[in-house]
Amino acid sequence: MVLKNFIVFEGIDGAGTSTQIKKLVEKGCNECGEGAFLATAEPTTGETGRFLRRMLGGDFSVDEKTNAYLFAADRCEHIFGKGGVEELCKAGKTVVSDRYFFSSMAYQSVSCGEELPRLLNSPFPLPEYLFYFVINPEVSLGRVTSRGEKKEIYETIEKQKKIAAQYEKVISGYEKTAAESGMKIIRIDAEKSIDEISAEIWEKLKK
Ligand code: TYD
């Protein structure tokens, strides 16, 4: 099932999704009115999301299967909780999320296999639009490194290469069934300039 008005951006770390979400929400609000477009992200700023941020920062580690459950729990509140994405989209807002269950299917599947993330994420609706940012992991990790912040647990070149390959597998699977599912998937060349990418995204959505 597709949740209308729900847009998701996905890609490996450093692909530029956060920058593009800011630009899209700004443009959407300018064109369609203040508050018409809302930005959100996973992990969320809620309790489970904050717990996950500590795990990502390396404060503690748990089995990757446990992570799959935790990301799905955070997502459940994000989508179905009071004032969540489903409620907002049904009220006519356009909600743009930095990451969604495709991230679990890429990141967690690398070390805990595909079955559990698929199972845990089967109750969630598909977004109306999925923008998939494609980038060479060397380039994107270079961007992450140049920020000078402490690296999170998945931010090594070996892991990013495996995650990129898994993303490709997951997204191409959804591309094959897009005609039936109704989810529109758009691949973005994330090595293009910020302005080129944001113009491309707006072009796809303005209709
Ligand atoms: P990211 O989206 O890059 O946010 P920020 O730029 O604020 O650090 O970081 C979130 C990390 O969490 C990223 O490495 C991907 C990972 N992640 C998963 O492993 N599984 C998931 O289901 C989600 C939503 C994120």
pLDDT tens digits, residue range 170-194?
999 999 999 999 999 999 999 999 9
**Closest atom, ligand 1, to C-alpha of 41:** 2
The residue written with tokens 């070996």 in the block is 158
Tell me what the mean pLDDT of segment 118-134 comes to.
98
More confident residue, 50 or 207: 50
Q: Which domains can be identified in the chain, with CATH numbers?
A: 2-206 (3.40.50.300)
Length of the chain measured in residues:
207
Among protein residues, the one with the nearest Cα to ligand 1's atom 14 is 154
The residue written with tokens 């910020």 in the block is 194
**Closest atom, ligand 1, to C-alpha of 71:** 22
d(CA 55, CA 68): 12
Exposed e or buried b for every residue in 164-196, given b needs 16+ CB within 10 A? bebbeebbeebeeeeeeeebbbeebebeeeeee
Distance from the alpha carbon of residue 125 to the mean position of ligand 1, in angstroms: 20
Average pLDDT score, the chain: 97
What residues are paired with 10 via a beta bridge? 132
What residues are paired with 176 via a beta bridge? none
pLDDT tens digits, residue range 151-164?
999 999 999 999 99
Distance from the alpha carbon of residue 49 to the mean position of ligand 1, in angstroms: 10
- What residues contact residue 83 under an 8 Å CB cut-off, 6+ apart? none
Which residues lie with the beta carbon below 6 Å from any ligand 1 atom? 13, 18, 42-43, 56, 71, 98-99, 103-104, 107-108, 152, 154
Containing 65, the helix (H) or strand (E) segment is helix 64-80
Report the predicted TM-score, pTM, of the whole model to 2 decimal places: 0.98
Tell me, what's the pLDDT at 207? 75
pLDDT band at 25 (very low <50, low <70, confident <90, very high): very high
Tell me, what's the pLDDT at 78? 98
The residue written with tokens 């994405």 in the block is 85
